[in-house]
Amino acid sequence: MLILTCPCCGVTAEETEFHAGGEAHLKRFGPGSSEDEFHDYLFARENPKGVHFERWRHANGCGKWFLAARDTVTLEVYGTYPAQTHEPPQDIKDRISARHPGWTWREFA
């Protein structure tokens, strides 16, 4: 069972209170971008075995979107953080490094 803490309202709850929203930190590509960029933005996914960054919504709570760093193999949650960020906070990255020295995910490490 997955337990997440919403960084917006501070509530800690079981996964049925939340809604998973797919991969986080996708860079938007719109008009003027190349076909490859637009294709990757829409379809290409990391889908990693291990560290993953994803979007969640506190659907049955405050209703806000936030981001989570989670391990898709152990289901360990490294931390949750506000959606208004371009990069995971350092303390979450440190926690991941303690488990997976040398990890990378897109441009993060």
Binding site for another protein (CB under 8 A): 1-2, 15-16, 19-20, 22, 35, 39-40, 42-49, 52, 54, 70, 72-73, 75
Q: What is the smallest separation between the CB atom of 42 and another protein, expressed in angstroms?
A: 7
The answer to whether 9 and 17 are in contact (CB under 8 A) is no
Q: What is the smallest separation between the CB atom of 34 and another protein, expressed in angstroms?
A: 11
Burial of 63-89, coded b for 16+ CB within 10 Å and e otherwise, reads: eebbbbbbbeeeeebbbbbeeeeeebe
Paired tokens of 27: 């860079």
Partner from another protein, Zn ion, none binding residue 39, C-beta < 5-8 Å depending on class: another protein
